[in-house]
Amino acid sequence: MSDSTATAHGHADEHSPFLRHHFESLEQQADATNFAMWLFLLTEVMFFGGLFTVYMIYRNWYYQAFVAASHQLSVTLGGVNSCVLITSSFTMALAVYFAEAKNKKALLTCLITTFTLGVLFLGIKGVEYREKFEKHHFPGTSYSMEAFTNPASDAVATAAGDKPLPVDVAQRTELFFSLYFAMTGLHLAHMLAGMGILLYMIFRAQSGAYTTGHVSYVEYFGFYWHFVDIVWILLFPLLYLINRH
């Protein structure tokens, strides 16, 4: 077999504790893992995309019911949550910056802030979900469409100026809530996974793992977190802002 080596990689690379031995150089490693992360996010796009497609189809078919059901969601809470997530994306981006700048204290602050904002998001989501349960808007045997057939009985519907819906249209609101819980639930699951990883990263950052110049983990987690944020930014108008005035 030929005897000349492939790429001339720097002396420093060979001894870098971060170079996995199946890669020829840190550059190749970074290139490959970066590509892999984007590809993974593409699979997530396909996953959420399927659900979004289902939502768009039913929203097109049952627009009237979906409008009325959407009015039951709190734009305030949803809007606050959007700000919370966007801010957490900002703090996450800052975390990557500080990791590159090898500023452990700032990195930790940013990571912890991101985590806290995540907790805040979950808390607000919990409040929203609780309200839905209490009003019997969770799909299933205890679902109630009272708020839609008789808006006068419901403060939110009255405030939105909803007209009473016929029974067969009102029945379709359950579909809206099914998709609402499925979509936000899936998003929630991704947030929980992200926060689990974030917790792990906080402990690792504490021991200086990310401030040595090797920032890949923080960077790639940043991608993931931004993706989860973007999904929410798409969810919010789709679910909360149908036909609001």
Do 240 and 78 touch, CB atoms closer than 8 A? yes
In this chain, which of 15, 17, 39, 207 binds other proteins, going by CB under 8 A? 39
Distance CA 44, CA 35 (A): 14
Q: Give the interface segment with other proteins, choosing from 34-42, 92-100, 121-129, 208-216 (CB under 8 A).
A: 34-42
Considering the complex, state which of residue 80 and residue 242 has its C-beta at the smaller distance from other proteins: 242
Do 121 and 88 touch, CB atoms closer than 8 A? yes
Do 146 and 154 touch, CB atoms closer than 8 A? yes
In this chain, which of 11, 21, 207, 245 binds other proteins, going by CB under 8 A? 21
In this chain, which of 17, 22, 161, 245 binds other proteins, going by CB under 8 A? 22
> Token pair for residue 47?
């996953």
Q: Is the dihedral of CA 84, 86, 87, 93 positive or negative?
A: positive
Check binding of 142 to other proteins (CB under 8 A). Answer: no
- Rounded to 5 degrees, φ, ψ at 72 are -75, -10
In this chain, which of 147, 175, 195, 218 binds other proteins, going by CB under 8 A? 175
Check binding of 16 to other proteins (CB under 8 A). Answer: no
Which x/- pattern, by CB under 8 A, does the window 40-59 give for other proteins? x-xxx-xxxxxx--x--xx-
Check binding of 60 to other proteins (CB under 8 A). Answer: no
In this chain, which of 15, 134, 140, 245 binds other proteins, going by CB under 8 A? 140
Distance CA 205, CA 112 (A): 10
Check binding of 109 to other proteins (CB under 8 A). Answer: no
Check binding of 28 to other proteins (CB under 8 A). Answer: yes
Distance CA 85, CA 228 (A): 9
Residue 225 three-state SS:
helix
| Closest among 232, 71, 81, 218 to 159, alpha carbons compared | 71
Check binding of 135 to other proteins (CB under 8 A). Answer: no
In this chain, which of 10, 79, 166, 237 binds other proteins, going by CB under 8 A? 166
Return left, alpha or beta for 208; rule: phi > 0 is left, psi -120 to 50 is alpha, else beta.
Answer: left
Please give the single-letter amino acid code of residue 202.
I
Check binding of 130 to other proteins (CB under 8 A). Answer: no
What is the contact surface with other proteins in residues (CB under 8 A)? 1-7, 20-24, 28, 31-33, 35-36, 39-40, 42-44, 46-51, 54, 57-58, 61-62, 139-141, 165-169, 171-172, 174-175, 178-179, 181-182, 186
